[in-house]
Amino acid sequence: MKPSMAAAITVSRGGPLTGTLAVPGDKSITHRALMLAALARGESHIRGALDAGDTRATAAALVALGAKVDWPASGTIQVQGCGGRWRSPAGTLDLGNSGTGMRLLAGALAGRGISATLDGDASLRRRPMERITAPLRAMGATLQTRNGCPPITVAAADRLHGIAYRLPVASAQVKSALLLAGLAADGPTRIVDPFHTRDHTERMLPRFGAALRGRGDALIVRPGALECTDITVPADASSAAFLAAAALLVPGSRILLPGVGANPTRTGFFDLLGRMGASLEWRNLRDVSGEPVADLHVEARPLTGVRVEAREVPRTIDELPALMVLAAGAAGETVIEGADELRHKESDRIEAMRAGLETLGTELRVSANRIRIPGGGLGRGGRVEAACDHRVAMALALAGLATPEPVTVAGAEWIDASFPDFAERMRAAGVTLEAA
């Protein structure tokens, strides 16, 4: 993977976006495929993976744990797994910017008889880890953190106990960490997810031979070994969201995004766009390695504000920065309820988007559990900050398509975490995006 984003980028208003745009592989699914393949016995193949900073960091950590990962510059990844027997790594595992990498790996390696320290960059070091360490401790793991944040040190434990656990926060990372830990427990692990967070781990585990029952809010995983398999990763719905949002900001735009993940636990943003008046169509729905996938056709239409209820947030969580930009430009107010989890992402996304949009002439009103976006805004360009956050960087860059003057995003290199080809794809669609 070669980092391709400049440290600052400028996006200017221009003509409509058109064409068929390739979207990179799904980040969540790539992390999971790499980890399960590294735990499994035999050689797995992963096609269509996301080649980006976050997923490369996970692959490097798995190599340090003893897996062989052959990841060519383009094409299929080959993973030779360790049949459940990872080794204690020689040094600290550096998960970079990736909360998914850190939380899922901590669960996967607890109870495997090895010790390891997981660390990351300054942004990851600010993110809460008690949400996984508390239930993992209840399973019998010994973990240490620095005031609840990384680094996390996992002490060697040979066996964990299965527990029954109801998620107190809407987090697929917590659910997945416990499911992966449950593979090495001495009995079944039961998890209740009342929030219906993304279910990629549940869909993928049985493909690697795991005994997992249930779907939706109640899951039971039994301990057991994994067997190698081949996984094809769909295009990332969250990255597709930025291209769709770009098209919706420029009248006359019309784009096609092929092979996008259409998993209903991830498509809340697109449903909201429909309610805002966008023209969206999922075509040719099919199954790819147990995940629904479709070609997404997007046509610009004038948008109106929308009300996002708290129960809709988990299916929309990573796309809320893009939604805020669309809402700022839409006619009428948008209200987002119960999105406090946004404060615990790669940045405090509520604060980062509030600051960025304020520079661009839209004032977000943030109260205890509600964000109000007045609409009718995006009245001026300016220089905004990515706040060490790939999704904030991309969301604010989109604003430049609608503001009268260009928008410059400082810290655009963070986009490499999930979408290294962002600039290239935007330019391919006709956008004027330059290094600043």
Active site amino acids: 318
> Facing residues of 288 across strands?
291
**Cβ-based neighbour number of residue 379 at 10 Å:** 14
Q: Within the chain, how many helices (H) and strands (E) appear?
A: 12, 24
Q: Which residue has the tokens 């990372």?
A: 173
- In 3-state terms the chain splits into helix, strand, coil percentages (rounded to 5) of 35, 25, 40
Q: Specify the residue, 190 or 349, whose C-beta has the smaller distance to ligand S3P.
A: 349
In degrees, rounded to 5, the angle at the alpha carbon of residue 73 between the alpha carbons of residues 415 and 64 is 80
Q: Specify the residue, 17 or 170, whose C-beta has the smaller distance to ligand S3P.
A: 170
Q: Specify the residue, 80 or 201, whose C-beta has the smaller distance to ligand S3P.
A: 201
Report DSSP letters for 371-384, one per residue: EEE--S-----EEE
Distance in Å, CB of 77 to ligand S3P, minimum = 18
Distance in Å, CB of 320 to ligand S3P, minimum = 10
Distance in Å, CB of 322 to ligand S3P, minimum = 13
Q: Specify the residue, 95 or 407, whose C-beta has the smaller distance to ligand S3P.
A: 95
N-to-C CA span, the chain: 23
Distance in Å, CB of 29 to ligand S3P, minimum = 8
Amino acid letter for position 301? R
- Please name which of 306, 343, 302 lies closest in space to residue 323, comparing C-alpha atoms: 306
Distance in Å, CB of 420 to ligand S3P, minimum = 16
Q: Is 298 within 8 Å of 274 (Cβ atoms)?
A: no
Distance in Å, CB of 382 to ligand S3P, minimum = 27
Report DSSP letters for 334-376, one per residue: EEEES-GGGGGSSS-HHHHHHHHHHHTT---EEETTEEEE--S
Task: Take residue 258 and report the two structure tokens written for it.
Answer: 């092929």
H helices present in 110-185, as ranges: 130-138, 172-182
Distance in Å, CB of 28 to ligand S3P, minimum = 3
8-12: strand order across its sheet: 382-385, 407-410, 8-12, 432-435
Q: Which residues bind ligand S3P (CB under 6 A)?
A: 28, 100, 171-173, 176, 198, 317-318, 341
Q: Specify the residue, 34 or 397, whose C-beta has the smaller distance to ligand S3P.
A: 34
Q: Specify the residue, 198 or 203, whose C-beta has the smaller distance to ligand S3P.
A: 198
Can you tell me the distance from the alpha carbon of 358 to that of 157, in angstroms, rounded to the nearest whole number? 50
Quick check: bond before 151 cis, omega within 30? yes
> Facing residues of 407 across strands?
11, 382
Q: Specify the residue, 23 or 250, whose C-beta has the smaller distance to ligand S3P.
A: 23
